[in-house]
Structure 1
Amino acid sequence: MSTLGQKTLAVAITQLGVEEIPKNSNAGPAVEKYLKSVGLGKGYAWCMAFVYWCTKEASLQLAIANPLTKTAGVLAMLNFEKDLVVKEPQPGDIFIMDFGKGQGHTGIVEKVDKNIIHTIEGNTNDDGSREGYKVCRRIRSKSTIKAYLRL
């Protein structure tokens, strides 16, 4: 696991339980902090903003440059960062899901167990929605993932 990936995962863990205020608003102090990190205000989907913010915080702690492009777009991030794509995930990697019609979802891999990844995600919920209201742990099948980015 890369040092930046380890630190990004550690930052993400500190955000577990953060929720939108009010629920289902894409707003609230923490959510708006994530969105601001990519240049957006409240009201936008924030799963990629969450990942970007975690990586930015980890980069600051390590005194290195954040390698990610400043975007809230999941599929845009994949297109910008093709050089970071890896085939097999490991903890600290960023996963990318593609639901078609430009809709995606992302989060950070916490653990890999055969064909399953354990993740920490923003803008999800206990049902695994790509438009949820909190930061939480999820379990996903590797077969649902389009790509992984290694920091």
Structure 2
Amino acid sequence: MTLTQKTLEIATAQIGVEEIPRNSNSGPEVEIYLRSVGLSKGYAWCMAFVYWCTQKAALQINAKNPLKKTAGVLDQYNSRPLLVKKTPQPGDVFIMDFNNGAGHTGFVEKVTGTTIYTIEGNTNDAGGREGYKVARRKRDIKSVKGFLRLQN
């Protein structure tokens, strides 16, 4: 099994995890995601979720995690230029840029035309970047800055 496949499998198993209490950036699982990047509760955690899933997958299949240990979405994107792709494929990490340092991220589960189907942490039913759960979303590829491919 590849790192990409294992990471998606782990992310899928997290669907439904919620903050406790809602909109607090805390809770047992959320705090595990945040600790994986060296943070305590209370921080936005979409990138920490992506890092944790990838790190857990890497350990399980004895692979190297290509991602930087960071909770910063744009920090991750800017620090990994060799992973950047413009066209998504399943397992890629999508990066959104809302300017002024604000971003959002998650995994691409599938691609259909100009739509990506995703698994994201710290989102909500409206697809917000400051939500309270791990959930499946769908997004227009045009809303995405770029994609990070975990392996070639």
Structure 2 unmatched runs, 5+:
none
Which one-letter code corresponds to 2:66 in the other structure? Answer: P
> Which residue does the alignment assign to 2:6?
7
Q: Which amino acid letter does the alignment assign opposite residue 65 of structure 1?
A: K
Q: Once the two structures are superposed, what CA deviation does each residue of 1:19-68 show, in whole Å capped at 9, x if it has no partner? A: 00000000000000000000000000000000000000110111012111
The aligned residue for residue 138 of structure 2 is 139
Residue 49 (str. 1) matches residue 48 (str. 2): yes
How far the C-alpha of 1:109 sits from its partner, in A, is 0.2
Deviation at 1:99? 0.3
Give the TM-score normalised by structure 2: 0.97
Aligned position for 2:83? 84
- Distance in 1 between the 2:64 and 2:124 partners? 31
The 5 A counterparts of 1:3-42 are 3-42=2-41
What is the CA-CA distance between 1:105 and the residue it aligns to? 0.1
| 1:65-95 deviation digits (Å, cap 9, x = unpaired) | 2111100000000011111011211110000
Residue identity over aligned pairs, in percent, reads 66
How many residue pairs align between the two structures? 150
Give me the whole-angstrom Cα distance separating, in 2, the residues matched to 1:3 and 1:126.
30
Q: Deviations over 1:88-145 (max 9, x none)?
A: 1111000000000000000000000000000000000110000000000000000000
Which residue is 1:67 aligned to? 66
Structure 1 counterpart of 2:36, one-letter code = S
**Alpha-carbon separation, structure 1, partners of 2:130 and 2:116:** 19
Distance in structure 1 (CA, Å) of the matches to 2:29 and 2:35: 10
RMSD over aligned CA atoms reads 0.8
Aligned to 1:135, what secondary structure does the other structure show? strand
Q: Which amino acid aligns with 1:107?
A: G
- Partner SS, residue 98 of structure 2: strand
Separation of aligned partners in 2, 1:9 and 1:149: 14
